Amino acid sequence: MSTATRSDPQPAQAHQADSHDLIRVHGARVNNLKDLSVEIPKRRLTVFTGVSGSGKSSLVFNTIASESQRLINETYSAFLQGFMPTLSRPEVDVLEGLTTAIIVDQERMGTNPRSTVGTATDANAMLRILFSRIGKPHIGSPQAFSFNIPTRTASGIMTTDKATAEKTIVRKRVYLGGMCARCEGMGSVSDFDLSALYDDSKSLSEGALKIPGYSMDGWYGRIFSGSGFFDMDKPIRRYNKREMHDLLHKEPTKIKVEGINLTYEGLIPKIQKSMLSKDVDSLQPHVRAFVERAITFQTCPDCDGTRLSESARSSKIKGKNIADLCTMQISDLAEWVRNLKEPSVAPLLAGLQHLLDSFADIGLGYLSLDRPAGTLSGGEAQRTKMIRHLGSSLTDVTYVFDEPSIGLHPHDIERMNGLLRRLRDKGNTVLVVEHKPEMIAIADHVVDLGPGAGPAGGEVMFEGTVDGLRSSGTITGKHLDDRAALKSSVRTPSGMLEVRGADTHNLRDVDVDIPLGALVVLTGVAGSGKSSLINGSVAGRDGVVVIDQSAIRGSRRSNPATYTGVLEPIRKAFAKANGVKPALFSSNSEGACPTCNGAGVIYTELGVMATVESTCEECEGKRFQAAVLEYTLGGKNISEVLAMSVTEAEEFFGAGEARTPAAHRILDRLADVGLGYLSLGQPLTTLSGGERQRLKLAAQMAEKGDVYVLDEPTIGLHLADVEQLLGLLDRIVDSGKSVIVIEHHQAVMAHADWLIDLGPGAGHDGGRIVFEGTPADLVAGRATLTGEHLAAYVGA
C-alpha cells in the first residue's frame, strides 16, 4: 500500500493578469494637454478637477474614452464600421489598461419631437407589450399602442394552380398602429397665419412670399413660373379658388422646368415637411422666428394631446389606458405597477418595476413618460442616460461622467454620490469630471489639472487623495474648503415683477412678486417648478432676456469671433483701413484659401479608417489667401488677429491705430465671463462645456433687456471662477438691470439679495412657494431643505 506525499503549501504567486490595475496615459497632447502623463487606478472612483478649460475633458473624454470606443469599433467588420462614426486615434504616446468605456455626458437628448422620456428609456416599449398581452379589450400587437406607427391597409392577389383548376384568392389585411391620424402622433395640430406666408397685395414676381429661402431669384422662382399654375404678375388677393388651392395645398405634382424634372407642392404641406417635422428649437434662428410668427400650435382635438388613436386608448388595465399611465408622475406609476399582480406577465412587470424605480433612485421620479425628451435639461438628460446602467451586471467597465451634479439641489447630491459608489463597488472604474466639493469629497483618487485654462493649462498639478489635494497648494486645493458668507446688506428693490396664478406644469396657482433692481435667486429641489415659473410666466415679457442651458450650435468652422459677432466689426475695420471689401477678411467668403476653402486643414476620407487631417500647404493653416494677409491693421494681419487671445485682442482694439469700439465692447464681455485666455479663432468644437456656457452668456448679454434670467450659470465653473461670476452679476445689477438666477450653488444663494424657494418636493409634491425673503432669513428659519443646506454651507 502506497501513500501519496504532499508538499508543504507554497505562497500563491501573483498572477500576471492581476498586474493590469492601472490605466496608464503617457505623452497625451490632445487639445491643450502638454505631453501629459498620468496613472489612474482601476475599480476606483477618480475625480478630475481644475479650472474650466484646464484639460479635464481633453484627457477623460477625448483621450481615454475616445480611444476605448475606437478600439471597440475596430473589433467589428469593415462593413459594420462603415455605419459607425469614424474615430481617429488621439495624440498620445502610450495608452494602456483601457476597458470598455460607457460615456454619460451632458449632451441634450435628441430634439426629435417624437422622442419622449418613455421612448428614450424603453419604458414605453414595455408598456406597449403589457397592454398587448393583458389589456381589455385586446386590440392587437404592441404596434397598436405606438404613436409612431400609423394604421396601414395591405392587399394582394394570390393565384393557385392545383392540377385541374386555377383559384384566385384576394387577401386584405389591416395592420393596426396607435398613431392618431389627425396629428400624426405629434399631439398637436398647427394652424397657419396666411398673412405671415405672403403679402396678398403683391404678385409672386414682386416677392409676395415671406417664407425664408423662398426667393423668386432662385429655384423656387423657376418652379413657380415653370409650373404653369399661376400668373406670376397677378396679385395674390385676385387669385381664384383653384389658384389659391394650388398655391397653398396642392399635392406633389411632377413638372418639367427648363428640361429638368421637378416636383411642385403647395406651400403648407411643403412647410410641414421641411420645418414642422423638426423640433422648433433645432431650427436656424431666422427659420424658428418665422415658424413662431406664422404657425400656432394647439392640442389635437381628436387625441387630446395623447398622440394615440381612439382604439389604442380604448384598451385598459384596471381602468387605465396607456395614455393615462404615460401622463402619470413616474413615482406614482411605479406604485401602480407594483400593485399589479398578473402572473402571466410577471417577468415583464419585474423589468418595468426596476426601470421605474431607477427613475426614483436617480431623482427623476417627478417626470412623466410623455415628457418630450428635448425639454429635459442637461442634468436631467444625463441622469436619464444613467438609468439603463444602474441595474447592469457588467463589471470591469469604465463609466465616464461629465459633471453629474448639474441640476441637482444639495439635497439630491448625496443620492447621486451613492449611485456612483454603487457602480464602483460592483468592480467598475468610475471617472468623474466635477467641480462641486461635495462630489470631490467621495473620490478615492483625485487628478487636478491646471495651473490655468487654455494654453496655460494641460498639466497635472496633483495626483492623490482628497486630503492631499487640500494641502497641495493648487488652485483647487486652496478653494476646496471655501465657503461664501451671507451678505451684510442687501439691495432695496426698485419695483416688482408680478406673477399671478402661475400653473405651468406642476405649479399650483402660484402668486409671487419678483423684486426688480436686485439679484434674485430661485432655488428648490430638481423638479420643484423653478423653470416652469420662469418659462411659463416670466420669459416672453418685454425686456426679459433668457439665457438658458440649450447647447450652442456651431461647426468646426465656427469660433468665438464668429459666434459672438466680434469678427464683423473687425472685418469692417480691416476693410476701411485698406480700402477693400470686408468679405476678403472672412475665411468663409472671398478671402478664403482656395485649396482648403478656408478650413486651414485638408480632410482626407479613408472609408472605415479615421479621416486624416493635414495642415493646408498653400496657406500653412492660416485659412486666408496670401494676398489677403498683406493687408494689415495696427501692424497685424487678419490671421494674426484671430490667433490672439481675448485679453490681447481687448488691448489691441482698445487704443491706437486699431481702436475699434464695437469690437472692444464684445471682447470686454468675453473677459468679464472669464474667457480672456481663449483665442478668437479657436474652433468651437474644442471648447469645454463650461467654456461654451460662458461664451453663450457673453454673447446673449449683448441683447437689450431690463431683466436677465440665467439658468444655472455656474455649470462648468471651477470654485475659483464662481467669485468672478458673482462679480459680473453684481455689475449687471449695479448698472440698473435686474438679474434672476435659477441656481443650486450655495455661494450664489448666499450672495443673493432675495431668495424664492420652491417645493417642498418635486413633481406634484412641489409647485408651491415655500419661502420668500433674504438669505439671512432663510438660514435663520431653516424651514426648508434649501435653508438647512445653506445654513450648513455658511456655517451658521
DSSP character string of 681-716: T--GGGS-HHHHHHHHHHHHTTS--SEEEEE-TTTT
User: pLDDT, tens digit, for every residue of 432-448?
Assistant: 999 889 899 999 999 99
pLDDT-derived band at 10, boundaries 50, 70, 90: low
| pLDDT value for 606 | 60
d(CA 351, CA 15) in angstroms, rounded, equals 39
Q: Is the pLDDT of residue 184 over 60?
A: yes
d(CA 143, CA 76) in angstroms, rounded, equals 32
Residues of the chain with pLDDT > 90, as a percent, come to 34
| pLDDT value for 319 | 92
| pLDDT value for 24 | 95
Q: Is the pLDDT of residue 254 over 60?
A: yes
Question: Residue 656 has which C-alpha cell?
Answer: 491706437
| pLDDT value for 604 | 67
Predicted structure pTM score:
0.79
Longest dimension (CA), the chain: 120
| pLDDT value for 602 | 80
- 3-state SS of 494-556 is CEEEEEEEECCCCCCCEEEEEEECCEEEEECCCCCCHHHHHHHHCCCCCCEEEECCCCCCCCC
In this predicted model, which residue has the larger pLDDT, 613 or 527?
527
Residues of the chain with pLDDT > 70, as a percent, come to 92
Mean pLDDT of the chain: 85
Q: Is the pLDDT of residue 38 over 90?
A: yes
Contact criterion met (CB below 8 Å) for 63 and 28: yes
Q: Is the pLDDT of residue 6 over 60?
A: no
Number of other residues whose CB lies within 10 A of the CB of residue 796: 13
pLDDT-derived band at 2, boundaries 50, 70, 90: very low
Measured CA distances, 453 to 21, 33, 690 (Å)? 31, 11, 11
* Alpha carbon 566 to its chain's center: 25
| Of residues 777, 774, 743, 750, the one with CA closest to residue 524 | 743
Listed in sequence order, the DSSP H helices in 368-427 are: 378-390, 410-425
- E strand or H helix at 668: helix 661-672
| pLDDT value for 223 | 80
Q: How many CA atoms lie within 13 A of 695 on its CB side?
A: 32
Q: Is the pLDDT of residue 543 over 90?
A: no
Three-state SS at 122? coil
User: pLDDT, tens digit, for every residue of 47-89?
Assistant: 999 988 899 989 999 999 999 988 998 888 888 887 777 777 8
SS3 content of the chain, % helix, strand, coil (to 5): 40, 20, 40
Q: In the predicted model, what is the mean pLDDT of residues 506-522? A: 93
| Of residues 314, 317, 360, the one with CA closest to residue 339 | 317
In this predicted model, which residue has the larger pLDDT, 784 or 110?
784
d(CA 476, CA 462) in angstroms, rounded, equals 10
- Reported residue count of the chain is 796
Q: Is the pLDDT of residue 13 over 70?
A: no
| pLDDT value for 320 | 94
pLDDT-derived band at 22, boundaries 50, 70, 90: very high
